[in-house]
Amino acid sequence: MSAVRTALYAQVADIRIDTNGRDAASVHGAVESALGLVDIVAREPRRLDVESPRGAYAIHVGAGLLADGRQLAEAIRGRHVLIATDANVARIQLPVLEASLRRLRPDLVIAVHCMPPGEAEKTLGRWQEAVAALAKLGATRDATVVALGGGVVGDLAGFAAATWMRGIDVVQVPTTLLAMVDSSVGGKTGVDLPAGKNLVGAFHPPAAVIADTAALSTLPARELRAGLAEVVKYGAIFDATFLDWLDDRAEALLAGDPEATAEAVLRSCRYKADVVARDPFERGDRALLNFGHTFGHAIETEQGYTGATGGLVHGEAVAVGMVLAARLSTALGRAAQADADRLLALLQRFGLPTRVPAGLDPSALLARMRLDKKADAAGLRFVLWDGAGRGVIVRDVPESAVMAVLAG
């Protein structure tokens, strides 16, 4: 190659590949991986540091973090580890996590506690089994619970960590999109009682969150969509431009594109971490995160908890709830109809339900909402919006307006 050409190429090139002594196939491979910059970016773990009353913690997001294992190994202080998980996740993700941990931390004494999957298992009985497993392990005050699974495992294992010896570390390793963007961040832990969801629990922020987006590849499509509803929620209450971003990336997110997924998880965690840092114990702003949830919980309770009965899963119920909250905002003159229409369209793009399931009685739903924790003495309290991106807590919402939206 002439010196002139070499100099010119050096000036304009974005990527340089040495072809000396390489065959065509090998050059082809090098070009492909150099052009696959997007993929490389996605594989690079990203980190978000979060303040909490128990001290700062890191949220790591990236594809392959469980196989890598470094972030997990570094988050464990003592010698005892209880990995809490459910039967599905134990089959799919546990072997990788356990192998990483044993490779990087041969000093650890590790036990595994596995529960059956499903919200119906988030009980005091299962909590008792988890703390019994800690006792059997001989867990000391510097022991760590690793919560490997969806929101159910995270809440239950987090509560076991919160209560064992008045509180030991929990590392949240969420394996559902919903848990990555919502339940693993912010420190709420607990179990359900027959009288209602999450009635017994504690604020217990994690020592670290490790969100391996590669784990989502085995998640059923329905669960992925349900998680996307909570992602949409952040745009709805905090940032209209995030709704545009989601609209742009809808196909990529549904296809599990690693770059778009990592970005959506990280941005969601940031919105949540910001509001939780301002209001860790939900005395004010944090309640905005309940957008769509007063309606959603009423639907969930009225239909009976699990999706197994043919009803909606949590994220789906929240999708319907957000549509109703947006309609109620329009009816109360707080927001334009166009905002509600736009939210509806985005949720539909994600394949989420947007109507109250047939057979649920509006007055029964209203009665459920009167019992909701978010109803205070003065009347029904709702999280509504003053248009896309501007969530607002509204007290004394007239029941007639709520009924009109439910029946409509």
Judged by CB under 6 A, which of 68, 86, 169, 300 binds ligand ADP?
86
Nearest CB to ligand ADP, comparing residues 215 and 388: 215
* Least distance in angstroms from the C-beta of 305 to ligand ADP: 11
261 binds ligand ADP (CB under 6 A): no
Answer yes or no: are the C-beta atoms of 235 and 250 closer than 8 Å: no
Bridge partner list, 383? 393
Answer yes or no: are the C-beta atoms of 170 and 206 closer than 8 Å: yes
Place of tokens 């303040």: 51
151 binds ligand ADP (CB under 6 A): yes
Judged by CB under 6 A, which of 59, 84, 114, 152 binds ligand ADP?
152
Residue closest to ligand ADP, measured at CB: 150
Number of residues this chain uses to bind ligand ADP (CB under 6 A)? 21
**What is the per-residue binding string for ligand ADP in 283-322, x denoting contact by CB under 6 A?**
----------------------------------------
Q: Which residues participate in catalysis according to the annotation?
A: 166, 188, 230, 272, 282, 286, 290, 293, 297, 314
* Least distance in angstroms from the C-beta of 327 to ligand ADP: 25
Nearest CB to ligand ADP, comparing residues 122 and 286: 122
218 binds ligand ADP (CB under 6 A): yes
- Is 197 assigned to a binding site? yes
**What is the per-residue binding string for ligand ADP in 11-50, x denoting contact by CB under 6 A?**
----------------------------------------
- Is 155 assigned to a binding site? yes
- Is 314 assigned to a binding site? yes
273 binds ligand ADP (CB under 6 A): no
Judged by CB under 6 A, which of 78, 117, 351, 357 binds ligand ADP?
117
Answer yes or no: are the C-beta atoms of 214 and 66 closer than 8 Å: yes
* Least distance in angstroms from the C-beta of 150 to ligand ADP: 2
- Is 80 assigned to a binding site? no
Residues 6+ apart with CB under 8 A from 358: none
Judged by CB under 6 A, which of 92, 96, 240, 332 binds ligand ADP?
92
Interaxial angle between packed helices 337-349 and 314-331, expressed in degrees from 0 to 180 and rounded to the nearest 10 = 160
d(CA 152, CA 325): 26
Judged by CB under 6 A, which of 75, 97, 215, 266 binds ligand ADP?
215
Judged by CB under 6 A, which of 130, 178, 224, 405 binds ligand ADP?
178
Residues 6+ apart with CB under 8 A from 137: 80, 82, 109, 111, 143
* Least distance in angstroms from the C-beta of 213 to ligand ADP: 10
219 binds ligand ADP (CB under 6 A): yes
Answer yes or no: are the C-beta atoms of 150 and 174 closer than 8 Å: yes
**Long-range contact list for 197-200, CB < 8 A, 24+ apart?**
197/297, 197/300, 197/301, 197/305, 198/155, 200/124, 200/159
Nearest CB to ligand ADP, comparing residues 8 and 99: 99
List residues binding ligand ADP (CB under 6 A): 86, 88-89, 92-93, 117-119, 149-153, 175-176, 178-179, 215, 218-219, 223
